[in-house]
Amino acid sequence: MRFSTNSLFLYCIAIAVIIFVLAQSLFFLVRAYRRGRELGLDSKKLKKTIVSTAVFTLAPAVSILIGIVTLSKFLGIPLPWIRMSVIGALTYELPAATSTANALGISLSEIITDPKVYSAIAWVMTLGILPSIILPPILMKKIQGGMVKIKNKDSKWGDLFLTSMFLGMISAFLGMVFADVRGGLSGWIPVLVLLVSAGLMGICGLLIKKFNMKWLETYAMAISMVGAMIFAVIITPVLA
């Protein structure tokens, strides 16, 4: 009964947060539409822009839904719903939850019912992402200024610097992929899934570049994620 009460409380918090976000979005949508009319823009074009933009948000929404489903396996629905719908991303939320669970010696193969473990994961996920909210308004101007100076001084080294930063960020996640490769064939499942996901993204990139399928840019991430997950479902019973 206690767990049901706590679960209901979490659902109420999630619903309140989502309603606030939707209300905020609706507020700015109305303000933008009215401002467009004040500038003399045609109402039909404005409505067409709104509809087309709403359609193109469906593809990213698929990726978010996949993230919620993945996290809900061990965290339930409310917390992942809040995180993924507002500020989080699967590339951060899942490693944060996994690292915390490993530190506590907890398996994520089933839903977490221990309130201490659950709260610890929630705190790590929340506190870990706070710098990305607080620091950009404070440091972004200086960081951008430094990057512009580097590019103006030597464009080649500027591009290398940006590429190195991106690869450094990607490398931080690769440790989790290759962590269990010494454990036999099952340890190579994440590696194979990564390769399939990268292959699908590469195919989408070729289609966009060679066949000018610009519309695929919006769906490439969702395609690579869904395709890799399907591959994981197929290959895991074989190698595990």
Contacts of 144 (CB under 8 A, 6+ apart): none
pLDDT averaged over every residue in the chain:
84
Q: What is the DSSP letter of 112?
A: -
User: How far apart (Å, rounded) are the C-alpha atoms in residues 8 and 27?
Assistant: 28
- Percentage of residues of the chain with pLDDT beyond 70: 96
User: What HEC string does 53-95 produce?
Assistant: HHHHCHHHHHHHHHHHHHHHHHHCCHHHHHHHHHCCCHHHHHH
Greatest alpha-carbon pair distance for the chain in Å reads: 66
Q: Which long-range contacts (CB under 8 A, 24 or more apart) does 211-215 make?
A: none
Question: pLDDT category, 59, cuts 50, 70, 90?
Answer: low
Average pLDDT over every residue of 139-149 = 82
Average of per-residue pLDDT across 81-110: 83
Q: Give yes or no for residue 149 having a pLDDT over 70.
A: yes
Judged against a pLDDT cut of 80, whether residue 58 lies above it is answered with no
Q: How far apart are CA 222 and CA 106, in angstroms?
A: 30
Residue 193 CB coordination number (10 Å): 20
Residue 57 has what DSSP assignment?
Answer: T
pLDDT tens digits along 220-238:
877 887 888 889 889 988 8
pTM, two decimals, is 0.66
| pLDDT tens digits for range 6-34 | 678 889 999 999 999 899 989 999 999 99
pLDDT band at residue 4, thresholds of 50, 70 and 90? low
